[in-house]
A = this chain, B = another copy of it.
Amino acid sequence: MAKASRMTKQKRLILEILRGTRVHPTADWVYQQARQVIPDISLGTVYRNLRLLCEAGEIMELSFGSTFSRFDGNPLNHYHFVCRQCGRIYDLDLPLREELEEEVRRAGYEVEHHRLEFYGRCPECARGAGNP
């Protein structure tokens, strides 16, 4: 059976914040934004709702090398670029490569999804500096 899940104003706000940005924010960034609308929202509530929204498939949690998670308001599989200089994370406009999964299935695995990320320097940082 489906899980019970209420739409509270906190959850709705968090979802709006995530859908309205392209920055792949951290939980704390979402918290700072949310406080501007609901000043006494708590960080615990932000974490709880980020978790709930992930489980509901409304958003995506991204964990790169860093010690903290980032979140993406677009739950559809897509690829990312991580700039090692400025730390920004970009959505890439590449078509999904489903055929990669086929190769893995041939090896006997049940593949549900895959994740592809590129690391390097973003156009903006490359323009600014010759050497990192």
Interface residues of A (CB under 8 A from B): 61, 63-66, 81, 84, 90, 92-94, 97, 100-101, 103-104, 107-123, 126
A120 with B111: CB separation less than 8 A: yes
User: What residue of chain B has the Cβ atom nearest to residue A92's Cβ?
Assistant: B104
B114 with A103: CB separation less than 8 A: no
Distance of A109 Cα from B126 Cα, bound (Å): 8
**List of B residues within 8 angstroms of A118 by Cβ:** 100-101, 104, 109, 111, 113-115
User: What residue of chain B has the Cβ atom nearest to residue A54's Cβ?
Assistant: B65
**List of B residues within 8 angstroms of A103 by Cβ:** 94
The verdict on A115 contacting B113 (CB below 8 Å), with A65-B61, A123-B108 known, is no
A114 with B117: CB separation less than 8 A: yes
Interface centre among A64, A103, A121, by most chain B C-beta atoms within 10 angstroms, is A103
